[in-house]
Structure 1
Amino acid sequence: MSDDIRWLQRFANYTKALQSLSEAVALAGERPLSKLEQQGIFALIGSRDASRSAFQNGLFTDGEAWMDMIKARNLRSHTYNPKVTDSVNRDILMRFYPAFAALRQRLNSLTQPGFAP
């Protein structure tokens, strides 16, 4: 008799899992894929992954500046050293702001009619 109970428990778990899968499939059918998802990019975890993926997909050309931004953010949030602060501030003005401006220009070009990646 205990085997029958285990079978019923397993079947109940299977039914719940299938219901969850059915809901996910229905949701996927309702929502269009983003451009990145269309290219097979689904799981970007963290700023490093997102920056690498954006670089690989041609959204920006200066990948080193974007990686340095991440390092500077982490460094700056954990230090009160004025020399480090000055260095990060200098990088923001000389390297990071131009990188953000270039990204804006690139993204703006993607909104233009007739764009073909």
Structure 2
Amino acid sequence: MSTPDIRWKQRFQNLEKSLHFLEQAIEIQNPDIIQKAGLIQFFEISFELSWNVLKEYMEEQGFTELRSPRDTIKKAFEIGLITDAHTWLQTLQNRDLTSHTYDEETAEKLVREIESVYYPLLKQVANQLKSEL
């Protein structure tokens, strides 16, 4: 069984790959509905990996009370790993919304938010964690 130290580092590699795919999806000019769905899916994956990497990293640091994305986000803010807890919590809320979104108007709005707010937020935490490797 792998140690927590190795686990967060391995999951971090998956996060970097996922963010790379998300970035590629964002760069598509005039995406069709299928490409937008892919972009949203890469966002969901990247967000899941982000909060899980944060959780595992903080558990390695001795923080053991992290049971949910919300707990993890609050603690990461408290110890300075992230700087905008409000936007992170909004990202969590919108990630939850993505699995229940079936209309194109909502998908369009979400794609714009992913491009302008959520991708930069996830990339920022990835860069922060990369410095810890």
Q: Determine which of 45, 63, 75 is the counterpart of 2:85.
A: 63
Q: Which residue of 2 aligns with 1:97?
A: 119
* Larger relative contact order, structure 1 or 2 (CA cutoff 8 Å, min sep 6): 2
Give the counterpart letter for 2:63 in structure 1.
I
Cα distance in 2 for residues equivalent to 1:32 and 1:96: 27
The answer for unaligned runs of 5 or more in structure 2 is 6-55
Cα distance in 2 for residues equivalent to 1:32 and 1:54: 17
RMSD: 2.4
**Mapped contact 2:70–2:89 kept (Cα < 8 A):** yes
Shift of 1:68: 1.3
**TM-score normalised over the length of structure 1:** 0.58
Alignment pair present for 1:107 and 2:124:
no
Q: Which residue of 2 aligns with 1:51?
A: 73
What is the identity percentage for the equivalent residue pairs of Structure 1 and Structure 2? Answer: 32
Alignment: residue pair count: 81
Q: Deviations over 1:13-35 (max 9, x none)?
A: xxxxxxxxxxxxxxxxxx78986
Give the counterpart letter for 2:69 in structure 1.
S
Q: Post-superposition, which runs of at least 4 consecutive aligned residues in structure 1 deviate over 3 A?
A: 31-40
Query: Tell me, what secondary structure is at the counterpart of 1:44?
Result: coil
Of 37-46 and 60-69, more deviation after overlay is shown by 37-46
Change (3 A) 1:44 1:32: closer
Shift of 1:57: 1.5
The answer for unaligned runs of 5 or more in structure 1 is 1-30, 112-117
